[in-house]
Structure 1
Amino acid sequence: MTTNVLACIDGSSHATAVCDWASWASLRLDAPLSFIHVLDKAPQPGLADLSGTIGLGTQEHLLEELAELDEKRGKLAKEQGRIMLEAAKRRAIDDGVSEPATLQRHGELVETLVEFEPQTRLLVLGRHGEDSASAYAHLGGHVEQVIRALHRPILVTQGEFSAPQKIMLAFDGSATTRKGVEMLAKSPLFNGLELHVVLVAADTDDNREQINWASTTLAQSGIKAHAAIVAGEADKALPRYQQDNGIDMMVMGAYGHSRIRQLLVGSTTTAMIRSARVPLLVLR
């Protein structure tokens, strides 16, 4: 089965960054690219809210008008989505992607993405929805829901696209993060880029052995890797390292042990995505 880079497109002013990151990943992975726009089935406010307050004589007439208005909204949303998908497709072609596909579906976002999971190699979505005015606005509720539901690598984008040169991998020595290292070593996504492997822990012989294994494994695959052990709390130490070293993208596993066990299953996940000023690649 062919696996794609799947990018979620919405009405956000930051959707172009999602498109550019998805195009970059598609080219690096030599994988087909598909853009998807999901139309929410949730009813528009008004129909249920007003039905109990209008008089009996006018209730049927007004409900019919509200139903017609809701239908018009649906058609306009569908057309808007089609236009956005076409714009994303043209932008991807300009970026060098060959024959990107477009998909439009009605339904709930997470359920729809789970449906496409078997054909997905990498999912790309923005950390904010179309209601957010800022790239660093309140975290969109859909992000954590998608990360919990899917078992595919997920690239959470933010800000404008710039081809990354320095990547940081949060490593804790667990079986899960070791698997993440092996996954990166086999993937062409970061070939030729500079990768920093960062362990938030005490500087002990055991921890140095763990992180040296990670950097050696990556180096054997042609990935230039720097190993670092830093002290502190993960949700503060990792963003600080990113800023101090000019890191363009952060990578971490969905689960770990020690002090980053809570990543992507609790408040630390939200804190990391909120505090990071660069895209975050979540490995599952």
Structure 2
Amino acid sequence: MKHVIACIDESRMANAVTQYATWSAKQLQTPLTLFHVLDEMRYPVNSDMTGNIGLGSRESLLEELAELDERRNKIALEHGHHLLEAAKNQAEEMGAEDVHVRQRHGDLAESLTALEDNLRLLVIGLHGAQTCDSDRLGHQIETIVRNIHRPILAVPPEYHAPTNVMLAFDGSDVSRKGVKMLAESPLFVGMPIHVVMVGAATADATASVEAAVSHLQEFRHKVSYEIRAGDVESTLHDIQQERNIDMLVMGAYSHSKLRQLFMGSTTSRVLSRSQIPVLLLR
């Protein structure tokens, strides 16, 4: 059975990630896995100190450094265990019934790729341990989005249970996939949906959006829509603020105007200023 997987680290993002992941797992009625990765650069499994020891240094110094490295890794493992147990307790207090914990050494993106076959939804923080108190994104977000071909929910530091959702629609295959997901997924049951197309309100654009709205209405969703000209980033942000939207759904790497959102600095600006969770589709 596929799991919701939540990336837990030592930052204050861990609480919100756990809460959004628990909400998602309950909505989807699927198991929840809380996942912590010890960065192999900070905590190597086998550390070779020989290159750092000059000629004539005592052999005992090598042994002391090796022992110090081993103790450091044990402390990191124990710390990760406590992080996961705290997150598990929090998830169970929120009503999650099937919660797993998992910890491993390695690179985060590579570790997640190895779990992709068992992944239904990945939940990550918009900010990492080193960026949580700034507007900068976590340094691994772009790599993860490019490597993982499953829906990714990138969440802000504060949790608010979603009650409505906005879909950034552009008529592409990815955005049509978003329509299908919104229509059929238990994640969005009972939520009003606002479909937004950024661009000129041509006849083709209007027909495309209305077809998406019609499909959503077939699944008994309450749907509204608009087509608005402007810059993609600022327009989506403005509409989110105007309508008090709780969650944004958009496609990654679509071959359209929205493609720019995932090709460099625009992506970082959209996500870094977001105060709501963003569900990225591939």
Same fold (TM over 0.5): yes
The 5 Å alignment of 1:149-164 reads 149-164=147-162
The 1:230–1:265 alpha-carbon spacing in structure 2 relative to 1, beyond 3 Å, is same
Q: What SS does the aligned partner of 2:261 have?
A: coil
Please, which runs of 5 or more residues in structure 2 have no aligned partner?
none
Cα deviation digits, residues 135-177 of structure 1 (max 9, x gap): x531111111000001000000112111111211100011221
The aligned runs of 1:86-125 (5 Å cut-off) are 86-125=85-124
* Residues 36 and 247 of structure 1: CA distance in aligned 2, closer, same or farther (over 3 Å): same
Structure 1 distance, partners of 2:35, 2:170, is 34
| Cα separation, 2, equivalents of 1:192 and 1:35 | 27
For 2:111 and 2:172, how far apart are their aligned partners in 1? 31
CA–CA separation in structure 2 for the residues paired with 1:183 and 1:168:
13
Aligned to 1:191: 189
Partner of residue 242, structure 2: 244
Q: Which moved more, 1:230-239 or 1:58-67?
A: 58-67
Q: In the alignment, is the contact (CA less than 8 A) between 1:195 and 1:223 conserved in 2?
A: yes
| 8 A contact 2:13–2:132 mirrored in 1 | no
Moved more, 161-170 or 20-29: 161-170
Rounded Cα–Cα distance in structure 2 between residues aligned with 1:282 and 1:58: 53
Moved more, 66-75 or 119-128: 66-75
- Once the two structures are superposed, the pairs formed by residues 1-284 of structure 1 within 5 Å of their partners are 2-43=1-42, 55-58=54-57, 60-134=59-133, 136-284=134-282
Contact 1:195 1:224 in 2 (8 A): yes
CA shift digits 1:233-258 (9 cap, x unpaired): 11111111111111111110113233
Q: Is the 8 A contact 1:127 1:158 kept in 2?
A: yes
Unaligned runs of 5+ in 1: none
The change in CA–CA distance for 1:6 and 1:208 in structure 2 (over 3 A counts) is same
- State whether residues 256 and 263 of structure 1, in contact with CA within 8 Å, keep that contact through their aligned partners in structure 2: no
Taking a change above 3 Å as real, the CA distance of residues 4 and 207 of structure 1, as seen in their structure-2 partners, is same
Question: 2:4, 2:215 → 1: CA distance?
Answer: 26
- Partners of 1:113 and 1:231 in 2: CA distance: 38
Q: Aligned-pair distance for 1:212?
A: 0.9
Give the deviation of 1:44 after TM superposition.
Answer: 6.0
Cα distance change, pair 145–94 in 1 and its aligned pair in 2 (3 A):
same
| 2:40 alignment partner, SS class | coil
Q: 1:231 and 1:115 mapped to 2: Cα distance?
A: 41
Any runs of at least 4 consecutive aligned residues in structure 1 with deviations exceeding 4 A, and if so which? 47-52
Decide whether the 8 Å contact of 2:31 with 2:99 is kept in 1. Answer: yes
| Deviation sequence 1:158-198 (CA, Å, 0-9, x none) | 12111111211100011221122112211011110111111
Q: Is the 8 A contact 1:29 1:189 kept in 2?
A: yes
Conserved 8 A contact 1:191-1:222: no
Structure 2 contact 7–36 (Cα < 8 Å) conserved: yes
Contact 1:172 1:257 (8 Å CA) reproduced: no
Question: How far apart, CA to CA, are the structure 2 residues paired with 1:133 and 1:264?
Answer: 21
**Letter paired with 1:138:** R
Q: Is the 8 A contact 2:178 2:249 kept in 1?
A: no
Conservation of the 8 A alpha-carbon contact between 1:233 and 1:259? no
By how many angstroms is 1:48 displaced? 8.1
When the two chains are superposed, the root-mean-square deviation of aligned CA atoms in Å is 1.9
Q: 1:225 to 1:115 in 2, by over 3 A?
A: same
Distance in 2 between the 1:189 and 1:220 partners? 17
1:222, 1:44 → 2: CA distance? 50
